[in-house]
A and B are shown apart, each in its own frame.
Chain A
Amino acid sequence: MSDVFIGFSSVGWREAVMYLVGFALIWLAIKKEYEPMLLLPIGFGAILVNLPLSVVWEHEGAAGFLKVLYDGGIANELFPVLIFIAVGAMIDFGPLFKNPFMIFFGAAAQLGIFATMIIATLPPFNFSLKEAASIGIIGAADGPTAIYVANKFARDLLGPISVAAYSYMALVPMIQPPVIRLLTTQRERRIHMTYHDADVPRWLKVSFPVVVTVIAGFVAPISVPLVGSLMFGNLIRESGVLERLSKTAQNELAYLVTLLLGITIGSSMSAEKFLNIRTLSILAMGLVAFVVDTAGGVLFAKLVNVFLPEDRKINPMIGGCGISAFPMSARVVQKMAAAEERGNIILMHAIGANVSGQLGSIIAGGMILALVPLLAG
């Protein structure tokens, strides 16, 4: 008789809380439209995996469909790599080619990754170096990189790290403006920047993804799956002879893998793994990573301005776009510039810094993947 009610007797308050978490993510996706393509499947996956007996994960020794997806797409890092091909096909490096100095903001705005990694190792958190590195990478503002690194170093933390990475990316319009306002004066926010719309030679656009992959392969060989897939997607786009493949990568591939990635990440949010104080601390540190990233980019721009003549100063808000949340961060900064002074257009510079953030985040991920095992084994 007890078997009849096993569905009711096999769940406790922890599972009930996870249903609420799942509903909250679905609500944010539908009502607030925060990254709906990811938060909705993640939320639903979180509910599925916490239902009685967790049949979608494993039952009577047989793998459920979500475990099959997890093993075939996350555990072997296939989904993040496929997403990168899609993202690469979407990125136009044109604005960066027209103002290449913007690339350095893509480096400065990775500061949050490293600062958060250090914080995570300190009391009271006391995470191991590998766990701390996985938490810090939330600051890459780049879901696939966060998943890739967490999967290598701290598989048990994959659920909270993924949720934090995607949630904070969706919250960039709320996180970045107060940080930028705090660190800049009104005069700085009103700085105009001229944009030279020079032609970029086609050979440069085509050779860029290939050369970048080769450079990354020599500097941080372990980053090649990330850089290589991103640049492969970009090469398809820029080659000019694979338009259908480029469109397929940007649409069908991106949508299909995002769908599977989301629900599979949700399946890693079982109550026993997710509901603990460590999860709360990871969510808090993820926010710190985004704030420090933004501050790093803005302060770097202010530092550069010290050495520039008056007529060539950079609007320091551009620095905040060095995070990888593309193109949301660029849009946020343009909106702030227009609010400060009507007609101030810095969008193309902001996009240049923003695509640099894509490069910076995967290189930072590659550096962490290369350096951490040297010390932590």
Chain B
Amino acid sequence: MQAIIEALKDSSPAVQALGVSVGGIIGVFTTLAAFFLLIWGGTRIGRR
């Protein structure tokens, strides 16, 4: 991970933006997936 960050630091702003975008999209989906599991699990437990 650190190697990717170091490589991106020396890249053009467009490549850096691409890197932020990939990381950002993964981060948003992963975080909301955690919220999904929280709600899904919570409603399942609630039904029992």
Interface residues of A (CB under 8 A from B): 96-97, 100-101, 103-104, 106-107, 110-111, 113-115, 117-118, 120-122, 126-129, 132-133, 198-201, 203-204, 207-208, 211-212, 215-216, 219-220, 356, 359-360, 363-364, 367-368, 370-372, 374-376
Summarize B's interface: helix, strand, loop or mixed. helix
Summarize A's interface: helix, strand, loop or mixed. helix
CB of B32 within 8 A of CB of A367, answer no
Q: Which residues 15-32 of B have a CB within 8 angstroms of A?
A: 16-21, 23-25, 27-32
**Distance in Å from the Cβ of A131 to the closest Cβ of chain B?**
9
Contact of B32 among A107, A117, A126 (CB under 8 A): A107
CB of A211 within 8 A of CB of B16, answer no
Q: With A127-B13, A132-B13, A375-B19 given, is the CB distance from A368 to B24 under 8 Å?
A: yes
CB of A100 within 8 A of CB of B40, answer yes
Of listed B8, B32, B38, residue having the most chain A CB within 10 A: B32
Q: How far is the CA of A374 from the CA of B27 in the complex (A)?
A: 15
A sample of 17 more A-B contacts (CB under 8 A), given A97-B42, A103-B32, A376-B16, is A100-B40, A104-B32, A114-B24, A117-B21, A121-B14, A121-B17, A126-B13, A129-B17, A132-B17, A200-B46, A204-B46, A359-B32, A371-B19, A371-B20, A371-B23, A371-B27, A375-B16
**Distance in Å from the Cβ of B30 to the closest Cβ of chain A?**
7
Q: How far is the CA of A118 from the CA of B25 in the complex (A)?
A: 13
CB of B32 within 8 A of CB of A375, answer no
Q: How far is the CA of A129 from the CA of B10 in the complex (A)?
A: 13
Contact of A103 among B13, B24, B36 (CB under 8 A): B36
**Distance in Å from the Cβ of B15 to the closest Cβ of chain A?**
9
CB of A133 within 8 A of CB of B43, answer no
- Contacts of B25 on A, CB cut-off 8 Å? 107, 110-111, 114
Q: How far is the CA of A204 from the CA of B13 in the complex (A)?
A: 43
- Contacts of B38 on A, CB cut-off 8 Å? 208, 211-212, 215
- Contacts of B21 on A, CB cut-off 8 Å? 114-115, 117-118
